[in-house]
Amino acid sequence: MPHTPPDNPQDILTEAGQKTHDSEFFNPVPPGYKQGRHKYVVVLGTVMSGLGKGIFSSSLAKLLKDKGLTVAPIKMEGYLNIDSGTLNPYRHGEVFVLDDGLETDMDLGTYERMLDQNLTRDNYVTSGQVFRRVLDKERHGGYLGRDVQMIPHVTGEVKYMLRELAVKQNADVVFVEVGGTVGDYENGFYIEALRQLAFEEGENSVCFVALTYVIEPPALGEQKSKAAQLGLKKLMEAGVQPHLVACRAHSEVLAPAMEKIAMFSNVPMRRVFSMHDRQSIYTIPEDLRNAGLDREVLSLLDMHSRVNQAHEDTAREQWRSFVRKLTGDRKHKIRIGITGKYASLRDAYASIDKAIEHCGSHLSADVDVEWIDTTKIEPTHVDRVLKHLDGVIVPGGFGQRGTESKIACVRYCRENDLPYLGICLGFQMAVIEYARNVCNIDDASSSEFDANTKHAVIDILPEQKQIEGLGGSMRLGGQDVQLKANSLAAFLYRERSQGDDGKLGYTVRERFRHRYEVDPSYIEQLEAAGLVFSGRHPKQPIMQILELPPSKHPYFIGAQFHPELTGRPLRPQPMFMGLVAAAIRHASPNLTAEQITTRWLPKADLQPAS
């Protein structure tokens, strides 16, 4: 059948990817896709990376979500790794684990927190994944005898993935964040795919935002926009005319720099925004709203009619009340120490940092975080770095370095009534410490750092892995945790319960990323000596939370999971709230529980069910 190429490339979208002719248009479209129903905001970085594309994009997505729209963010990474699991947090920031188990980067954490929305593996793409899909398709004869090319096939796959996300998550707006900077060799095909997407979807469908950087050399004391102009030019060379420009800078970007940027990028001044450094990223949505960003985006995407005003009013009021607490004066001042191998790099613990920030705001505490590098202190000297603190966190980690000092830190906290929160490795350290110093199992250790130990209280349990079908790999993602009735954990989590199982207590869901766990054969001995395993896997003998009862210690708790990954600004994470509340009491022992918070401070007679 002779084929007439469509005059309008958009016509092809109705053919649901069924094209077999030799047209140069290649627009595979997933079933159920309705053109015009789904809109796109694309955020691209110029000048340099690390400017906070994710922060801008998530702030804008939040503004639209508040209006009752469904938003689906997606991060597109240039690197070839299939996921972030093997990346060094020193170089890339923390590995953020999604509920479905995908290991992603810290930007996904920013989206989840800002939007209070769980994301899935569809919200994260690397070029490795794109190429793998294309190559798999090619092996299965998916390209009908054609040579497979970067354009149109790889770019076509990118467009397909975006549209698939739009359909799966029923998105009004898909927020696309491209990693790296315009001009990077590795993300060029993403930008080309997005340019094509805008062409195919038609007017008012795709809004391009260029995030750029305005330099302020201290020697000049003046804002210079040349680098920004060059960056924007580079974007236009790639065939993309930005609709909006967001200018990152240290201090508020002033009219002269903004005007030059507007002038050289064809973007009117009302669509050029200053995104200068803030005390907290959580103030950004409201500031950008006041600058008119949401209104401009709605106009560009022709979406004013989809706004739910009542929804926005409520959501906005809740957020503003949180931000008022965040930026207002605090009643309390506390110091929390965090031990960690990557102590010199805050990004490696981004979610912990944020979880603490949320709690500080809700409990009116100014939290001073001290990072403690345990590889640099002797186990016998930990008191020197801990004695002025009000609380300690031993976070997740891998490998042996610094672990003896971490165990010494746990001991110090336990013996000196210093509030303690152990996370993953920090949970395991607490088990080892208890086994050694309370149960007198002298050489108790983890087989992760001592393969020959006689007492691997923390071990890899192959039977367990077989049951869960994990093989040698890590236990990743969301799992249910059954909480013991009347335990400290059950007290803290009482508003997050997923349903009550009567005497057994209730279950909550948290995210895991570990290989080792408590060897069940030691549980009886540890519990007989007073340690309580208050959170367990509902069916397997996997210990997921430990604690000391409030009668024995003001706050001593540990989780095999990563509680920081589920902390949200308006729904702060319970174990962190408990820690901050206990730290306030530690800092000001004369305050009563009522003066701090009875919600997060358990009564001393709380007794877990046996």
Q: C-beta of 423: minimal distance to ligand GLN in Å?
A: 7
Please identify which residue in the block is written with the tokens 């570990």.
514
User: Which residues are CB-neighbours of 455 under 8 A, at least 6 positions away?
Assistant: 435, 441, 443, 444, 445, 522
Residue 201 a catalytic site member = no
Site map for ligand GLN, 177-216, x if CB under 6 A? Answer: ----------------------------------------
Q: C-beta of 398: minimal distance to ligand GLN in Å?
A: 4
Whether residue 561 contacts residue 512, with contact meaning beta carbons closer than 8 Å, is answered with yes
Within 13 Å and on the Cβ side, how many CA atoms surround 108? 27
d(CA 601, CA 405): 29
Within 13 Å and on the Cβ side, how many CA atoms surround 453? 18
From 304-312, 376-384, 510-518, 588-596, give the range in contact with ligand GLN by CB under 6 A: 510-518
Answer for which of 156, 397, 477, 505 binds ligand GLN (CB under 6 A) is 397
Q: C-beta of 337: minimal distance to ligand GLN in Å?
A: 17
Answer for which of 276, 515, 568, 571 binds ligand GLN (CB under 6 A) is 515
State yes or no: residue 448 binds ligand GLN (CB under 6 A). yes
State yes or no: residue 449 binds ligand GLN (CB under 6 A). no
In the structure encoding, which two tokens stand for residue 205, read together?
């469908």
Residue 140 a catalytic site member = no
Answer for which of 131, 199, 322, 398 binds ligand GLN (CB under 6 A) is 398
From 53-61, 192-200, 513-521, 597-605, give the range in contact with ligand GLN by CB under 6 A: 513-521
d(CA 464, CA 520): 10
State yes or no: residue 511 binds ligand GLN (CB under 6 A). no
Q: C-beta of 474: minimal distance to ligand GLN in Å?
A: 7
Handedness of CA 342, 347, 351, 356 (dihedral sign): positive
Q: C-beta of 576: minimal distance to ligand GLN in Å?
A: 16
Whether residue 290 contacts residue 279, with contact meaning beta carbons closer than 8 Å, is answered with no
Q: C-beta of 513: minimal distance to ligand GLN in Å?
A: 5
d(CA 536, CA 610): 14
State yes or no: residue 96 binds ligand GLN (CB under 6 A). no
Q: C-beta of 33: minimal distance to ligand GLN in Å?
A: 39
Catalytic residue among 424, 433, 547, 586: 424
d(CA 284, CA 286): 6
Catalytic residue among 77, 200, 517, 564: 564
How is the beta sheet containing 543-547 ordered, strand by strand? 365-372, 332-339, 391-394, 420-423, 556-559, 543-547, 532-536, 475-483, 507-514
Answer for which of 396, 402, 478, 535 binds ligand GLN (CB under 6 A) is 396
Give 264 or 449: the residue with its C-beta nearer to ligand GLN. Answer: 449
Give 396 or 578: the residue with its C-beta nearer to ligand GLN. Answer: 396
Backbone φ and ψ for 262, nearest 5 degrees, come out as -60, -50
**Which H/E stretch holds residue 393?**
strand 391-394
What's CA 328's distance to the chain center, in Å?
25
Q: C-beta of 75: minimal distance to ligand GLN in Å?
A: 22
Residue 564 a catalytic site member = yes
From 34-42, 86-94, 396-404, 576-584, give the range in contact with ligand GLN by CB under 6 A: 396-404
State yes or no: residue 563 binds ligand GLN (CB under 6 A). no
Give 248 or 513: the residue with its C-beta nearer to ligand GLN. Answer: 513
Footprint (CB under 6 A) of ligand GLN, residues 411-430? 424-425
Q: C-beta of 512: minimal distance to ligand GLN in Å?
A: 8
User: Which residues are CB-neighbours of 417 under 8 A, at least 6 positions away?
Assistant: 553, 554, 586
Which spans in 244-341 are helix H?
Answer: 255-265, 284-290, 293-300, 309-327
Whether residue 178 contacts residue 43, with contact meaning beta carbons closer than 8 Å, is answered with yes
d(CA 558, CA 501): 23
Helix axes 155-168, 127-139, angle to 10 degrees: 100
Give the pairing of strands 420-423 and 475-483: unpaired
Count of residues of this chain found to bind ligand GLN when the rule CB under 6 A is applied? 10
From 161-169, 367-375, 493-501, 509-517, give the range in contact with ligand GLN by CB under 6 A: 509-517
The catalytic site residues sit at 424, 562, 564
Binding site for ligand GLN (CB under 6 A): 396-398, 424-425, 448, 513-516
